[in-house]
Chain A
Amino acid sequence: MTIDPLPGRSGLVICGEIDIANHHLLRQALAVLAAEDADESEPVQLDLSGLRFIDVAGLAELAGFATQRRLVLHAPPPQVRRLADLFWLDRKWAIQP
């Protein structure tokens, strides 16, 4: 998995696969983003078009972040919407194709 800043906007580009082996890296990256980017008026953008897989605990990290900040998930892997509906209907995140 690789995590890079999103050029020009507040957010991240996350590629590869997220599972039990790298949740901690995702959590760190989100924590750094939250600390460095204090402008809460704009939602945080996550470009997930290069993300091949994210497991439930990985999505839980994003859901946790979405309790503090508005979040937009761009092009998440298949089944993310279904998982979001199953566990996190109340989150303030948007999922865009």
Chain B
Amino acid sequence: MTATRIQPDRGLRHDALFYDDETGYADGLVPFLQEGVDRGDPLLVAAPAQRVELLRDRLNGSAGAVRFVDMMSLGANPNRIIPAVRGFVDRHSGRQVRFVGEPIWAGRSAAETASATRHEALINLAFADTTAHIVCPYDTAGLDPEVLADAEHTHPTLIVDREHRPSTRYVEPAEFTADDRWPLEPPPATARQWRFTELTEPREVVRRHAVDAGLDLERAAALLLAVNEVCTNSLRHGPGYGTLRVWHTDAYLICETYDTGTITDPLAGRLLAPADASGGRGLYVANHMCDLAEVRSTAGGTTVRLQVARTL
């Protein structure tokens, strides 16, 4: 006789786990991961290094079955998380992947937190066609109430004190991430501005500012490439011209492009275009080259703000 088994959910599951200490963290995640180990599910954990260590420790002998990634590196730019997880899911096609992703921790800047929050909403779109089970831990002791409220907006299910319940405040991702609801801080008065119709001058501008800001060669080259690709989009897919603004803070060199074109795909830059497609790689490259890449596209045009740290 065949044993009757409860069928796993066929669709995506995306839960926010609220925890306030290490015990809550481990109690919330270890059973989820252990069950995955027992079932032979592909398991991926991306969390700050300290949390990774905690989970490794608590999983003990089962830790070897889990792929651990330091979220402070992978998710430094939160726009890089979806492509990485999508790659993992696609490599295990047909199986139920379990993913623990902690993209927001106490101390992240407002801009990083905004990017990570939008990323959380976009998870619901990017994996809608999968059976992945994703759990995102939120540190209720360390994070601001607005961040926790947004977690209720971006996760269909909440886990509080080991109880699962539907989030009554869940918002459809397209609505939640609508770019006009996420205005960027205006550039400072010190920002300089150039109109471009070709790419030689934008590259010279970036090179000059990279030297002035003290970027090492590696980071300067990464920013240069990212700006070039985003400006290429303005020339090729946009109106054929655009504006480049550059400024720096104590910590970052920031390059921002604007053109009057519109990007309609909310996942632009997060999914890998076929290797030899003629387009679709610009934002993807920018996300991988920069510490933060904020894209805002409305009827009024598209702004892409790229930042790299001046020193590590």
Most buried by A among B221, B229, B275: B275
Residue in B278, B281, B282, B289 whose CB lies within 8 Å of A79: B289
B257: shortest Cβ distance to chain A, in Å? 14
* Complex alpha-carbon distance, A77 and B284, angstroms: 20
Write the chain B residue with the least CB distance to A87.
B275
Q: By the criterion CB–CB under 8 Å, are B217 and A78 in contact?
A: yes
Known A-B contacts A56-B281, A78-B221, A79-B289; A21 and B199 likewise in contact (beta carbons under 8 Å): yes
Q: By the criterion CB–CB under 8 Å, are B275 and A19 in contact?
A: no
Q: By the criterion CB–CB under 8 Å, are A86 and B203 in contact?
A: no
Please encode chain A, from 46 to 88, with 1 for each CB lying within 8 Å of some chain B CB and 0 for all others.
0000000101110010011000000000000111001100111
* Complex alpha-carbon distance, A63 and B276, angstroms: 8
A84: shortest Cβ distance to chain B, in Å? 11
A58: shortest Cβ distance to chain B, in Å? 10
Write the chain A residue with the least CB distance to B224.
A53
Q: Main SS of chain B's interface residues?
A: helix
* Complex alpha-carbon distance, A53 and B235, angstroms: 18
24 contacts between A and B (CB under 8 A): A17-B203, A19-B203, A20-B232, A53-B224, A55-B225, A55-B228, A55-B229, A56-B281, A57-B232, A63-B275, A63-B276, A64-B276, A77-B221, A78-B217, A78-B221, A79-B218, A79-B222, A79-B225, A82-B288, A83-B225, A83-B285, A86-B284, A87-B275, A87-B281
Known: A57-B281, A79-B289, A82-B288. 20 other contacts (CB 8 A): A17-B200, A19-B199, A19-B232, A20-B232, A21-B198, A21-B199, A53-B203, A55-B229, A55-B232, A56-B229, A56-B281, A60-B276, A77-B221, A78-B218, A78-B222, A79-B218, A79-B221, A83-B285, A86-B285, A87-B281
A-B interface, 4 closest residue pairs, ranked by CB to CB distance from nearest: A78-B221, A79-B221, A19-B199, A87-B275
Q: Footprint of A on B, CB under 8 Å?
A: 198-200, 203, 217-218, 221-222, 224-225, 228-229, 232, 235-236, 272, 275-276, 278, 281-282, 284-285, 288-289
Q: Footprint of B on A, CB under 8 Å?
A: 17, 19-21, 53, 55-57, 60, 63-64, 77-79, 82-83, 86-88
